A = this chain, B = another copy of it.
Amino acid sequence: MRIDIDESAFARNDEIAAATRVLLRERRIFAVNMLSAPGSGKTTLLEATIDALCGRVRCAVIEGDVATTHDADRIARHGVPAVQVTTEQLSASCHLDARMVQQALDALPLDGIDLLFIENVGNLVCPAAFDLGESAKVAVISVTEGEDKPLKYPRLFRVADVAVLNKIDLAPYVDCDLDVIEANLRTVRPDLTVFRTAARTGEGLGPWLDWLRAGVAAARG
């Protein structure tokens, strides 16, 4: 059994991603590709982040899901533009690719955006293989997933610029040692920047927000 992913299809993806990267740079938009397993708390993290940055950084979100518009609906309630991509009817439903993002960008007011979040399909494997033209990749991992996940799904953490260790408020209930997760992250990627957050309570959001503000400032030039 082989799934033949045509190399030329990857090349075509990279071409579109490169064009998106140029477009975003011209518009001075800092674009963050958020990757994680299902249920790591990405959407809750984005909701808290948007509220915290509100007014000073103009945010927008592209939501990737296999089905439903739940997440775009949640984001829109926070008063920022949100576009939902549902992958169920597309040829490969397990990840976002550069063309899906390119099409979603057409629906966004690019002149009014400083910070664009692209929330990928919840999946620790496939999305890591696709460049979307983003400025940075952020891997989100929940403490409830277990300490070994960075070792078991190394590629995502290897390509990430930053990791957010989320739901730290649940650590006492799941026999999870945050230092062990962080050591496992560094086994895969020694220079990885790791933020510890509890998006639900707001704990630890400060350094994450500072990192985003720095990215936005750098994109403004």
Contacts and interface: CB of A to CB of B under 8 A. Distances in A.
Interface in A1-60: 1-6, 9, 12-13, 16, 37-39
Interface residues of A, number: 51
Most buried by B among A1, A91, A169: A1
Interface in A127-151: 142, 144-146, 148-149, 151
Interface of A: 1-6, 9, 12-13, 16, 37-39, 65-68, 70, 88, 91-94, 97-100, 121-126, 142, 144-146, 148-149, 151-155, 167, 169-170, 173-175, 200
A155 B154 CA distance: 26
Given A1-B92, A1-B98, A1-B100, 7 more contacts: A1-B12, A37-B38, A39-B145, A66-B152, A66-B154, A123-B124, A170-B170
A-side interface mostly:
loop
A124 B124 contact: no
Contacts of A152: 38, 65-68, 70, 122
A166 to B, nearest CB: 11
B94 A125 contact: yes
A72 B103 CA distance: 43
Contact of A144 (B39, B67, B148): B39
A51 to B, nearest CB: 18
A9 B13 contact: no
